[in-house]
Amino acid sequence: MLLLSLSFHEASHAWVAHRMGDDTGYLLGRVSLSPIPHIDPIGTLLFPVLGFFTGLPFIGWAKPVPVNPVHLRDVRKGHMLISLAGPGSNLLLAALFLVILKLLLVYADSSIGLLGSLAEPTFKLLQIGLLMNIALAIFNIIPIPPLDGHWVLYHLLPNHAAQVMDQIRPYGFLILYALMLTGVLQYFFLPAYVVVRYFLN
């Protein structure tokens, strides 16, 4: 589910970049749901495995899609739309999983009869996909480098504020991990999880 979600996220970045005039990601084969062109050895493999086996804060990412702003027809608009495409794709997947889950809940008896022993694991897998994609969307829209949200904010800020963001960009990953370790990051996700639980009841 993580590989699917990350692949869809990065493929969406590459597809929108292609539509906006930059075919860098497209030519690299990044407009693909196959996880192979998107895998980052550390972010897609090592960190998720460490989180799974050690209980450390779970974090994962795919190889970023390269964007050459020189090719964009409108740099500001293009960069913002490309950045929003990733979280937007995760929200789209989450909505799809939610609809399927609701259908399974509404037609529980018939679905269990249809799926047999696969009904419960299918339901759990869809739940994981729903929550994971909501988490990815929220996480990536946080305006801290190198997340997608920081590029959106960067292009909305006046020049002097954008320069400050340029200065903190090398430390963005440390800031994010500090937020995870201190538990602050969970407050970004709790409201969304409450809404999801409401819809699933």
Neighbours of 86 (CB within 10 A): 27
Cα–Cα distance measured from residue 189 to residue 57, given in angstroms and rounded to the nearest whole number: 14
Query: 74-103: per-residue pLDDT in tens?
Result: 999 999 999 999 999 999 999 999 999 888
Compute, in degrees rounded to 10, the torsion defined by CA atoms 161, 88, 7, 83. -20
Neighbours of 11 (CB within 10 A): 24
Catalytic residue flag (residue 10): yes
Cα–Cα distance measured from residue 176 to residue 149, given in angstroms and rounded to the nearest whole number: 13
Query: 38-60: per-residue pLDDT in tens?
Result: 999 888 888 788 877 777 666 67
Q: What does pTM read for this prediction?
A: 0.88
Selecting among 6, 7, 10, 60, the annotated active-site residue is 10
